[in-house]
Structure 1
Amino acid sequence: MEYGLFGLLILALDLYAIYQTLTSPASTAAKIVWTLAILLLPVVGLIAWLIFGPRGAARTV
């Protein structure tokens, strides 16, 4: 049962990361690369996105 909840949590966080990536001011190529990384490597891609991913306008200052 715990693994099912963990999977749902990762899915929700991945969807959030993909949404944030697609609505960011990053270039189209960067959006494609980040989206593919998150889709192909859900846990590693999410962690990489949290650390290195494109930031919104509010975070760039």
Structure 2
Amino acid sequence: MQLETIWIILAVILLVLELWAINVVLRSTGGWETKGLWLVILIFVPLFGLIAWAMFGPKREMADQRKS
């Protein structure tokens, strides 16, 4: 497999993960300030924003959803 093909596959995976994260942020129950901040981070700093969101973002809401 050529190196260009690998980069394209990785870019598509990153794009899909970004779109999924943006969808989850928009559907979350947080305030608009929090949503807006996460959206700006996810859009303008894609890879590091996705990592930061995965570490600090959805944990609290996911735990609440599991309880109910």
Please, what TM-score do these two structures have when normalized by structure 2?
A: 0.81
The alignment of Structure 1 onto Structure 2 pairs a total of residues equal to 61
| Identical-residue share of aligned pairs (%) | 31
Structure 1 residue runs without a partner (length 5+): none
Structure 2 residue runs without a partner (length 5+): none
Poorly superposed stretches of 4+, deviation over 4 Å: none
Please, what TM-score do these two structures have when normalized by structure 1?
A: 0.89
Tell me which residue corresponds to 1:35: 39
Tell me which residue corresponds to 1:17: 21
Cα RMSD after superposing both structures: 1.7
User: Which structure's relative contact order is higher, taking Cα pairs within 8 Å and 6+ residues apart?
Assistant: 1
Q: Deviations over 1:1-60 (max 9, x none)?
A: 100000000000000000000100111000000001000011000000000014344158
1 or 2, which has the higher helix percentage?
Answer: 2
